[in-house]
Amino acid sequence: MSHQNSGDRVQGLRSDLVRCTESREPARAARGNILGRIKFAGTPAAPALVGSAPRLTTHMVGGNDVPAEEIWRTDLPVRAGTDGPAVFAEDGEHLFYAVRLEPQSVYRDRVRELYENALRFTWERGYTDLVRMWNLIGGITSPNADGVEIYRDFCVGRSEAFAAWSEHFPQLPAATGIGTLSPGVDLCFIAAKPGRTVHLENPRQTPAYEYPSRYGPKSPSFARATFLDGQETGSLFVSGTASILGEDTAHVDDVARQTVETLRNIDVLVGSDNLGRYGVNGGGYGVRDLDQIKVYVRDREHVPVVRDICTLVFPAHVEIAYFNVDVCRADLLVEIEGVCR
């Protein structure tokens, strides 16, 4: 399979990650039509159409931190709308879909329903290939009303939905599963028309969907990265990545070593050897090619050390947003995601 030489290239999908200040309205600055926005805010809010573009709001910014917003743009004309409580926009090549699940005593059944509705909607509009999903989960490592950790509770419902839709969506995309600062689940994703995606695993890590049951009754449903073919070189969406080797957390209680191991995991994931295994041509990437970076840090006092390491590794011009939120295992101190283009 070649992803470099097809003549008929679809228009690209671009994103910006911007810090929000009141003096700067980022949405008006850049060219293109807005497909979707993810606002990392100081309070939770329902998804909404804002200036006719869908926006997910998630409570990830506390105290004195500056809110951030990720904006997905396309060159194609966009049509936006609602699907019950969900908002969406599509450009004929890409779909952005966002929905919020209010706090539940037990999440499983409502997560399954939410995901099934989303998958049905996506399939019916012809976006057969999932590209990138974000699962932003309040109280992610706290117990639900039955004493089950909310992340594990969530994973059961998500897994059941993907099982029910496995004939339509046989492959899992890149994803993030991370904590937020308020109860409830914020979900959004990007899907594409057929034939442009390749989903990748990491040779250093057990596929998440094969994690053993000691990490939860149903394994997490995601791939380590998804390549989306497009203009020029395409985009490689890197899932939330942590200091996991095989299926085990490495460097418990050492945030600096967890950060370095996470960066090494990303380096191998996006490298030419790994891309070659999946028939994704081109030179491959290194961790320094990661852009639109989000760094999630569990403990506020760890932010400076994580920031220092990231500042050394990533080029100065790259946008990096730091969020002080829980990670999905109590012993994971840091998680990093981004996009290589």
Question: Among 239, 258, 292, 324, which residue interacts with ligand 3EB (rule: CB under 6 A)?
Answer: 239
Among residues 78, 228, 236, 242, the one that binds ligand 3EB under rule CB under 6 A: 242
93, 201, 261, 335: which one is catalytic?
Answer: 335
Based on the residue annotation, tell me whether 90 is a catalytic residue of this protein: no
* 56 scored as a contact of ligand 3EB (CB under 6 A): no
In this structure, are strands 129-138 and 174-180 parallel, antiparallel, or unpaired? parallel
Binding range to ligand 3EB, per CB under 6 A, among 42-50, 91-99, 175-183, 268-276: 175-183
Q: Does 140 bind ligand 3EB (CB under 6 A)?
A: no
Q: Which is nearer to ligand 3EB, 81 or 246 (CB)?
A: 246
3-state SS assignment for residue 68: strand
171/4 Cα distance (integer angstroms): 22
Measured between alpha carbons, how far is 119 from 275 in angstroms, rounded to an integer?
Answer: 27
Q: Based on the shown chain and the rule CB under 6 A, indicate whether residue 240 belongs to the binding site for ligand 3EB.
A: yes
Q: What whole-number distance in Å separates Cα of residue 259 and Cα of residue 73?
A: 30
Residues 273-302 that bind ligand 3EB (CB under 6 A): none
- Other CB atoms within a 10 A radius of the CB of residue 49 amount to 14
Q: Which stretch binds ligand 3EB (CB under 6 A): 43-51, 124-132, 174-182, 298-306?
A: 174-182
Can residue 176 be called a binding residue for ligand 3EB (CB under 6 A)? Answer: yes
Identify whether the C-beta of residue 333 lies closer than 8 Å to the C-beta of residue 261: no
Nearest distance, CB of residue 216 and ligand 3EB, angstroms: 10
Tokens at 48, concatenated:
């909404």
User: Is residue 237 within 8 Å of 131, Cβ to Cβ?
Assistant: yes
CB 293 within 8 A of CB 337: yes
The residues that touch ligand 3EB, with contacts defined as CB under 6 A, are 135, 175-177, 208, 220, 222, 239-240, 242, 244, 328
